[in-house]
Amino acid sequence: MLRAVHLWGRRRAMGAGAALAAGSPLRQPQRWFRQQGAAHPNDSAAAESEELEKDRAALRKYGFMGVFAALCAATVWYGSEQAKKRYFGEMGSARVNVETRGRPALGGPFVLVNTKGEPVSQAEFLGSWAFFYFGFTHCPEICPVELNRMTHVVNTVRERRPKEAIVPLFVSCDPKRDSLEAIDEYLSVFHPDFVGLVGTPKQVNDACKSYRIYYSIPSEEDANTDDYLIDHSIAIFLFDPQGRFVDFFGNRYDENEIADKVDYYMGQYEKDPTWTNW
């Protein structure tokens, strides 16, 4: 009996060994799990490792792309800044050349009508320092501000130089609505010495071209309501007693700065009327 048990145990051990050799679940667990239609835990770990490696590769790829894009942007910005420096450097050189070789061709002959109905040309103002402003009486904000500035400048300069002849002029860009009476009433609010000028549409257009004034009136269809705005250049122009263009003042100058510059120009002109290095 003991021999039989021994033989049975030996055969069982040999069967187990054969099973291990043949690729049993104990010997090859992953293959066995796949044959059974189930996922082995090691498969899940391998998949996670593979996904992690893909994520790392993506991070390396897009990280490189981000660095490359940043370098491109920096290169473009640097090139743009260098181009600006070259441009403004050239503009500065051009400005020096313009100032030393001559003045802008601004101003010239015109024929308009004052608020008394009298024809007026540019020759009427020779012998005086003339301030020109182009606008329209229906302007809600900008024109009143600019005319107030002109009033302040005229008063300030006259206090400093009472012997100088100064004429402030307002030229209407809106001949359709700005009648002589309307202009006269409008200007009386600002300064009693203001000279208001207007003319036919062609006369106004010719004057604006001579003084390099941009203005845009709405189309006839839009302007039929008589309630429209006009887009136009905003600047005060100064001419010397010989009718030569001296300077223009945009809204970056306040009243006192304009008065100081005008006073300086008058002083230079007093020393030498041929002086043109404005």
Q: Would you state the pLDDT for residue 90?
A: 42
Q: Which two tokens stand for residue 197?
A: 């000028």
User: Are 158 and 164 spatial neighbours (Cβ–Cβ below 8 Å)?
Assistant: yes
Q: Half-sphere exposure (CA, 13 Å, Cβ side) for 25?
A: 7
pLDDT digits (tens, 9 = 90+) for 111-129: 999 999 999 999 999 999 9
pLDDT digits (tens, 9 = 90+) for 133-144: 999 999 988 999
What average pLDDT score do residues 140-161 get? Answer: 95
Judged by DSSP in three states, 250 sits in coil
Q: Would you state the pLDDT for residue 73?
A: 59
Q: Is the pLDDT of residue 268 over 60?
A: yes
pTM over 0.75: no
Q: Which residues are annotated as a binding site for Cu cation?
A: 139, 143, 232
How sure is the predictor about 230, in pLDDT bands with cuts at 50, 70 and 90?
confident
C-alpha–C-alpha distance, residues 73 and 229, integer Å: 43
How sure is the predictor about 4, in pLDDT bands with cuts at 50, 70 and 90?
very low
pLDDT digits (tens, 9 = 90+) for 161-207: 999 999 999 999 898 899 999 999 999 999 999 999 999 999 999 99
Q: Which residues are annotated as a binding site?
A: 139, 143, 232
How sure is the predictor about 212, in pLDDT bands with cuts at 50, 70 and 90?
confident
Pick the most confident of 4-18, 30-44, 180-194. 180-194
Q: Which two tokens stand for residue 207?
A: 């004057």
Judged by DSSP in three states, 120 sits in strand
Beta bridge partners of 129: 166
pLDDT digits (tens, 9 = 90+) for 54-103: 667 666 666 656 656 666 555 545 555 554 454 444 444 443 443 444 56
Q: Would you state the pLDDT for residue 233?
A: 83
Query: For 5-14, 28-37, 135-144, 224-233, which range has the lowest pLDDT when averaged over its residues?
Result: 5-14
Q: Is the pLDDT of residue 273 over 70?
A: yes
Q: Is the pLDDT of residue 19 over 50?
A: no
Beta bridge partners of 245: 239
Q: Would you state the pLDDT for residue 33?
A: 46
User: Are 130 and 238 spatial neighbours (Cβ–Cβ below 8 Å)?
Assistant: yes
Q: Other C-beta atoms within 10 Å of 115: how many?
A: 21
